[in-house]
Amino acid sequence: MDRIIFHIDVNSAFLSWESAYRIHHLGGKLDLRTIPSAIGGDVAMRHGIILAKSIPAKPYGIKTGMTIVEARQKCPKLYLAPPNYSLYQRCSNAFIDILREYTPDVEIYSIDEAYLDMTSTIHLYGKPVEVAYQIKDRIHEELGFTVNVGISSNKLLAKMASEFKKPDLVHTLFPEEIQTKMWPLPVSELFFCGRATTKKLLNMGINTIGDLAHTDIELLKSHLKKQGEVMWAFANGLDFSAVIADVPAQKGYGNSTTTPFDVSDSETAKKVLLALCETVAARLRADNFCAELISVGIKSYDLKYASHQMKMKNPSNITIELYHYACQLFEELWDKHTPIRHLAVHTGKLLSGSMTRQLDLFDMTDYVRLETLDKTIDTIRHRYGNDAMKRAVFVHPERTKHRLIDHMEGGVSREKRYLDYSELKVV
């Protein structure tokens, strides 16, 4: 039996979730989905980019990833709402919970989209299109936002189908429909075809997905190497990947942050690194992992990026030990004068459980004490909040701008994590 694969994608996810929450829980009257609007970060904190946009904002040329300044120039009356990631995660969880009622084979592709392998359960609910409408309508009725559903016999075609006309629609794209529904589309709309690849294909005279599907595969490989073969297969609707319900094993933990000001001194940079190590180490401990490998990345004011990595003497999840190695890498990497706008700390080569340390006659550090201290701090923060315990260096910052450095940096920034709606005028 042919597989039945659904791809379900929330329409303008962050903006839809924000709008639904304001209408159904805060008594708002304005539906952000019906006007030119967007979700954007804080310009003052240098997080000023568009994270999601409404469909009415699209004709103005508003795009995800665009700076807020540029978006305002294109659409002066653009309604801008701040992000609230805690809300988005709750909406995503509720969305996935509904999908899992229809099949155990749900692959979470991102916070706002998922694949469902309905092959073994579709007979319980009806015909594929009818079931897709049932799921779509149920999400709208119970959660207040809309989704698109793509249906096909593989993940690629289901994904392509869900990207057809939006919002709140169901589309099919089975192999027999490729010629009429997919091949006439611009090659840029093919899944996995980025801007650089699109440019190369256009220079070759390949304008549509159909052109690509009928191009000699060896010619594509000569210009695009292995990716040329992948693009040709996708253009012909070929995809044999399975829907993977199990979450892949974690390969590493890392966090990064864009600093709210250019960092030009080692002391401040190391304070940011300490804040990053604080969150990375806490995540390692929470999942009972130790890391053997650590790396530090630096993005300068002119957006140039460089990184170094090293293997630690012993696998560790101790905050201060990770910080020691991070500082060592930072000193090797930074040229001492180029202003820094972004710092990252990543760990890899994970080992599960408690690790035995290699003895060192010249190292008098009490690692058992440090491990116990970290675990105690984790417990206190879990019970009373992350701000219940801070390292002294973050308690009384000497200079005003240092107050902008969070003692637990990285991941979703604090201002995006929680939103106080009492300070907003919800209309």
Residues acting as catalytic residues: 113
Helix (H) or strand (E) holding 136: helix 128-143
**Cα distances (angstroms) measured from residue 137 to each of 16, 88, 132, 142, 222:** 15, 20, 9, 9, 47
Position of tokens 């000001």? 261
d(CA 40, CA 15): 10
The secondary structure of 218-236 as a DSSP string is: HHHHHHHTHHHHHHHHHHT
Give the strand pairing for 340-352 and 252-263. Answer: antiparallel
List all residues 6 or more positions away from 145 whose beta carbon is below 8 Å from its beta carbon: 10, 11, 13, 16, 17, 19, 20, 91, 139
Residue 6, Ramachandran bin (φ over 0: left; ψ between -120 and 50: alpha; else beta): beta
Strand partners of residue 307: 297
Q: Cα dist. 68→39, 49, 61, 65, 111 in Å? A: 10, 5, 12, 9, 23
First-to-final CA distance of the chain? 52
Amino acid at site 42: D
Round to whole Å and give the CA distance between 211 and 42.
43
Contacts of residue 397, defined as CB under 8 A and 6 or more positions apart, other chains included, come to 403, 405
Look at residues 252, 346, 253, 251 and name the one whose alpha carbon lies nearest to residue 298.
346
Residue of 193, 147, 148, 156 whose CA lies nearest to 174: 156
Return all residues near 107 (Cβ < 8 A) that are at least 6 apart. Answer: 114, 115, 116, 117, 243, 244, 245
192: helix, strand or coil: coil
Distance between CA atoms of residues 427 and 408, nearest Å: 34
Q: In what order do the strands lie in the sheet with 79-81?
A: 50-53, 37-40, 79-81
Q: How far is CA 96 from CA 14, 29, 116, 409, in A?
A: 15, 27, 10, 28
